[in-house]
Amino acid sequence: MTVTVSATLAVNEALNEKRRQGVRVLPLGFGEAGLPVHPVMRDRLSAGNGANAYGPVAGSAALREAAAGYWGRRGLPTEPDMVIAGPGSKPLLYSLLLEIGGDTAIAAPSWVSYAAQSRLVGQRPIMVPTATGQGGVPQPDLLHAAVTDAREQGRTVNAVVVTVPDNPTGTVADVETVRRLAEVARELDLLIISDEIYRDLVHVDAQGTERTVVHSPAEYAPERTVISTGLSKNLALGGWRIGVLRLPDSEIGHRLRGGLLGVASEIWSSPAAPVQEAASYAFTEPTELVDHVDRSRRLHGIVARAVADVFTRAGATVANPCAA
C-alpha cells in the first residue's frame, strides 16, 4: 500500500520551505503552538540523560504512576498497571487499531491521522458526521445507523474514535452527546477510543473564566473506553515524542494490554528513557507547569477566537472555538 505523508506534517514542511524563502506565513495546519519548553522540563530532561537502558515496554513505573495520578485528579481513578506509555499518542493509537481489528467508526471531520491509520492497518474507516459545536464525537444516532448498516453488509466493526476536546473544530462535545455516545457504544459492543490530548487546553474567556467542562466517555462507559493523551499540546513537547494510554480496568482492558505490549515490544521496545523521566515529573502537575499550561490556554483562546472572527467576517459559519 502507498501511504502519503500525513497532511498535517506535509503542510508543516511546506510552510518551513516558505519560511526559508523569507515568506511570512501564518501556520494553521498543524497542532503545534511554537511555545518554548518550560525551563524546568529542560532541567528534568538533562537530569535524565544518563538513563540509557531500554526499560519496561509499558513505560517506567514512575511514569505510569504519575499518569495514573493525572487521570485520578480528573475524576478517573486509574491503576498504574493499566497505563501504557509510548513514543507519542499517535503510535499508541495505531497499535490500538492494529490490535482491535475489524473496522472503526471515525468522526467527520476529524484529525487526519485516524482514517489514514485505519486504512494502514487494512480497515475501511466508517466516517460518521458530527453535529455543529459537538466536534470529535460522531452523532450517536448516525453512529448507530452506520454501524448497524455495515454489520448488515457482513462487516466487522469493533471500535469508535472520539476526540474531546476536538481538533480540528476546537469545540467540546457536551455531556449529553458524550453520554449518548457511550450508550450507543455499549449497545453495539464497540470499544471507545477517546483521544483527550487537548483536555488541558480548554480556553479561558476574556474575563479569565473557564466555562467549558470536558466529559470523557470513560465516565459513562468505563469498561470499554481507552483514553490517549500526551504532552505534545499542553506543554508543546511534540518533538519529545511521549504519549500515554489509559486502558479500562475490565476484561476488555486486560486483554488489550497483553496485545498492545506485544505490538509495542516489536515496534518501539520502550519509550525514550530520559523523556520518560521528564514526563514523570510533568504528569505530577507541579505548580509551575500548571501555571505554564494556564498561560498557554489563555493564549490559545485569544488566538483561536481572533482566527474564528476573521473567518466569520468573511462569511463562513464557525462554531465558537472553546478549546485546543
In the complex, which residues of this chain contact ligand PLP (CB under 6 A)? 8, 31, 88-90, 111, 163, 167, 195, 197, 230, 232, 238, 243
Distance CA 31, CA 29 (A): 7
Q: How far is the CB of 22 from ligand PLP (least distance, A)?
A: 27
- Whichever of 8 and 212 has its CB closer to ligand PLP, that residue is 8
Of 191 and 242, which has the nearer Cβ to ligand PLP?
A: 242
Q: Which grid coordinates belong to 43? A: 532541567
Shortest approach of ligand PLP to residue 93 CB, angstroms? 7
Judged by beta carbon, residue 147 or residue 279, the one nearer ligand PLP is: 279
Q: For residues 41 and 197, what is the distance between their CA atoms, to the nearest angstrom?
A: 19
The three state secondary structure string of 195-241 is: ECCCCCCECCCCCCCCCCCCCCHHHCCHHHEEEEEECCCCCCCHHHC
Compute the half-sphere exposure of residue 269: CA atoms within 13 Å on the CB side of its CA. Answer: 5
Nearer to ligand PLP, 66 or 197 (CB): 197
Strands 225-230 and 243-246: antiparallel
Residue 207 CB, shortest distance to ligand PLP, in Å, is 28
3-class SS of residue 96: helix
Long-range contacts of 207-215 (CB under 8 A, 24+ apart): 208/298, 211/322, 212/165, 212/172, 212/322, 212/323, 213/172, 213/175, 214/164, 214/165, 214/172, 214/323, 215/164, 215/173, 215/174, 215/175, 215/178, 215/179
DSSP assignment string, 290-315 = HHHHHHHHHHHHHHHHHHHHHHHHTT
Q: Which is nearer to ligand PLP, 90 or 297 (CB)?
A: 90
Least distance in Å: CB of 177 to ligand PLP? 17
At its nearest, how many Å lie between ligand PLP and the CB of residue 188?
23
Minimum distance between the CB of residue 112 and ligand PLP, rounded to whole angstroms? 9
Query: How many whole angstroms separate alpha carbon 156 and alpha carbon 175?
Result: 28
Nearer to ligand PLP, 144 or 225 (CB): 225
Nearest residue to ligand PLP, scored by beta-carbon proximity: 88
* Min separation Cβ 232 and ligand PLP, Å: 3
Q: Is 34 or 50 the residue whose CB approaches ligand PLP more closely?
A: 34
Beta carbon of residue 35, minimum distance to ligand PLP (angstroms, whole number): 15
Q: Contact 89/260 with Cβ under 8 angstroms? A: no
Measured from the CB atom, the residue of 238 and 259 that comes closer to ligand PLP is 238
